[in-house]
Structure 1
Amino acid sequence: MKYHLIAFSAALITTTAYAQQHHHTHGKAQLYLTYASSQLQVEFNSPAMDVLGFEGEPATDQQKQAVQQLKQTLSKPAALFTLGGNRCSLQSQHTEISQDHHSDVHASYQFACEGEPAPDISLTLFGQFPSLHQVEGFAIINGKQQYRVLDPDSEVWKF
């Protein structure tokens, strides 16, 4: 068990470090998954323009309301994705919106799962955020790395 926890932590740190270095490209987002020892971590990164409609500090009441609405939307993972098999339950969620010149949105979700990880993940975010055209998916599932590019015509990632 201790080994699995260390491996999961290392995978999460590696994934998070990469997430913080991703390139800010409008229309593209990143999805990071790590699974080990019945724990699933899902992280989503996107330019704020694609999910919020603007970048930088909210200046108007409408923009301030949009930030609050986005935080509420992202508090529910189904706004972004659904897990096949429905064997994982949400344990925690965190949303962060940077408010600098190239603002980004970062949402993370921690799940406790029964048995093996979900057999797939289906993205629901393209309907929610039509400015997104592509999501790069990076996964470490039980020590095996996977990469997949998802788009509105290819929303399901099977593991």
Structure 2
Amino acid sequence: MFIPAIKGQGTEEQHEKWLPMAYKMQIIGCYAQTELGHGSNVQGLETTATFDPQTDEFVIHSPTLTSSKWWPGGLGKVSTHAVVYARLITGAQDHGVHGFIVQLRSLDDHSPLPGITVGDIGMKFGSGAYNSMDNGLLRFDHVRIPRNQMLMRFVL
């Protein structure tokens, strides 16, 4: 879902930057939408991406435990990047949910980057087939990303 999200929601410039790295497996991405407290209820998502006009950056933040990204496949141990769905905040206005490309782990030693908590959710109940998937959890503590990492194909 990482590549399709970028292809479907990214600009041509974002395609040129991110897709070659993903196709060559220089980065490994996942799709981080579901949250612990909201599942796939997109309108209920709590993760925020607040624009800072002084630095031309977004500040990605998980304000509550229920805003933790929960269950994304490939997140627990493998992914270095994610398309993260968060509420776009400018000033005091909430513009709804948008996608953002966020690096999660170092490309040198695979350790989580500052402000990022990431891990595997462990064994799943039921069929052993579910346990073959690397499902993870993800939290952000005021992580800054450049403005051009917001997927902007449909942004006015």
Give the TM-score band, short-chain normalised: under 0.3
Q: Please, what TM-score do these two structures have when normalized by structure 2?
A: 0.28
| Greater per-residue strand proportion | 1
Q: Please, what TM-score do these two structures have when normalized by structure 1?
A: 0.27
| Greater per-residue helix proportion | 1
